[in-house]
Amino acid sequence: MSFINRRRELAALDAWWNQPGPQFGVVWGRRRVGKSFLISHWARDKRVVFHVARNRAVQQELALLSRLAHPFASDSRRDLTRRPFADWDDVIEVLAHAAKDEPLLLVIDEFGELLQSEPNLESALRALWEQVGDTKLRLLITGSAVRVMEALQAERAPLFGRATLRLHLRPFTPGESALMLPGLGAADRARAWGVCGGTPYYLALWDDQATFQQNLERLVCTEQGILLNEGELVLATEDFAGGRRERIPEQVLRAIAAGRTKFSEIKDAIGAEPTRALQALRDLGLIERVQPVRAKPDARRAHYRVADNFLAFWLSIVETHRPAIVRGLGHDVLQVVQEQFDDFMGDRWEEAFRAHLTLIAPKDPRLSPVVDVGQFWRQSVSGAEDPCQLDAVVLTGRSRTVTLVGEAKWGAGANGQRLLTGLRRKAIESGLPIADELVYALCARETVTHVDPAPDIISITAADIFG
């Protein structure tokens, strides 16, 4: 896989590397998001000891680290292959000496694995780091256990305040994802993102020389499909808080994926209080709490959605068909999966639309300064009233005035005049504070028709978002 994007992250790593004195950094993010790939690419021209922890016994970890560090310890008159590191004091002392005149990077990947066998390592590293002195040692710890890695940086944690780099690696945006699929047209890039989200590993599996149908068949609708069982692996390896005995977070995820998006619906579906699980899933970035713009935060009146495209796709579509696929019916199931995908993609397309507005709105002087991009619906309505659903709303300035409203349709084309008429009506009936010169954003997959170009109308298609 070729290296794509991550310009901001690379710049942050460069700035950290170029600071004087010893430097300690933390990089974390969910599985498959590309942490190790990023660090390896960035450090390719540096003196680096890259150690991947695997919850081994302490002496096994130190023996492996010794072999990796051996080339950099020659001036310490010590053969680390014959006399390996005895403990972490020894590691830091030898590597700090090796970094006395020239920077040396020690990467401990999957640091959370080390903590399982050495729970006191945090405190030990804090004491050791304070004794490093005036060297050029750089220590970078990374991990996929998001909750563990964030706990390392909490106020009362031993390593709190020591890190001069804190880098949370997140999935690609829709536009960034498109860069990994140069052989596809914009609409097919959108479809691939709908399945894979912004996870680099999944996007790298997508063949941009094949059709959407061919990719689904190869990756999902055969017993050997790499993504057929991937959702189960994600659920088994995520760092859920509170243990796995009752698997409450997993039950909550499944309820949301099945369309139980309100607090009361989730509670009824799982038969338990979901508050703690909802918070844990939000902390991991697996779900989002969605409320209308300008509404007061209220967990019980909010809607919840599975934030990760692939996990949402797998839970709501793939898992249902997995038994049939395993029995050899994947080719027949494929047609049904494709039909279900178009229904599934509506919500994902709206999110891509908002993500695009987040990029372009701050550059438009009519909309700047942008303080929020979200959606809106009236929460207290009777059955006969229109909730005035707005797929996109841009808020501007301290007064949080609405300067843009928008609607997105996943269909190949959309009647722009019809969308515009609806947006104008809903903007008035919403009760939101509307700017005198309101901008309207109209979005469809390929074309927006039946609307004349005007300064207050922005037409957006997949070519704009994924082009």
Q: What is the full DSSP assignment across 141-158?
A: EEES-HHHHHHTTSTTST
Q: Which of the following CATH numbers is that of domain 7-168: 3.40.50.300, 3.40.50.2000, 1.10.3720.10, 3.40.640.10?
A: 3.40.50.300
Angle, alpha carbons 73-75-81 (nearest 5°): 35
The predicted structure's pLDDT at residue 386: 86
The predicted structure's pLDDT at residue 105: 97
- Where helices occur in 118-220 by DSSP H, the ranges are 121-129, 146-151, 174-178, 186-196, 200-205, 212-219
The predicted structure's pLDDT at residue 75: 65
The predicted structure's pLDDT at residue 76: 63
| Separation between Cα atoms, residue 216 and residue 299, nearest integer Å | 36
The residue ranges of the chain whose pLDDT is under 50 are: 242-243
Provide the residue ranges of all domains of the chain, joining segments of one domain with +: 7-168, 175-344, 347-465
For residues 136 and 143, the answer to whether their CB atoms sit within 8 Å is no
The predicted structure's pLDDT at residue 146: 84
Domains 7-168 and 175-344 share a fold: no
Tokens of 446: 């390929």
Q: Is residue 358 helix, strand or coil?
A: helix
Q: Tell me the pLDDT tens digit for each residue of 43-72.
A: 999 999 999 999 889 999 999 999 999 999
Q: Which of the following CATH numbers is that of domain 175-344: 1.10.579.10, 1.10.10.10, 3.60.20.10, 1.20.1250.20?
A: 1.10.10.10
The predicted structure's pLDDT at residue 243: 46
How far, in Å, are 252, 418, 434 from residue 424 at the CA level? Answer: 37, 10, 11
The predicted structure's pLDDT at residue 239: 64
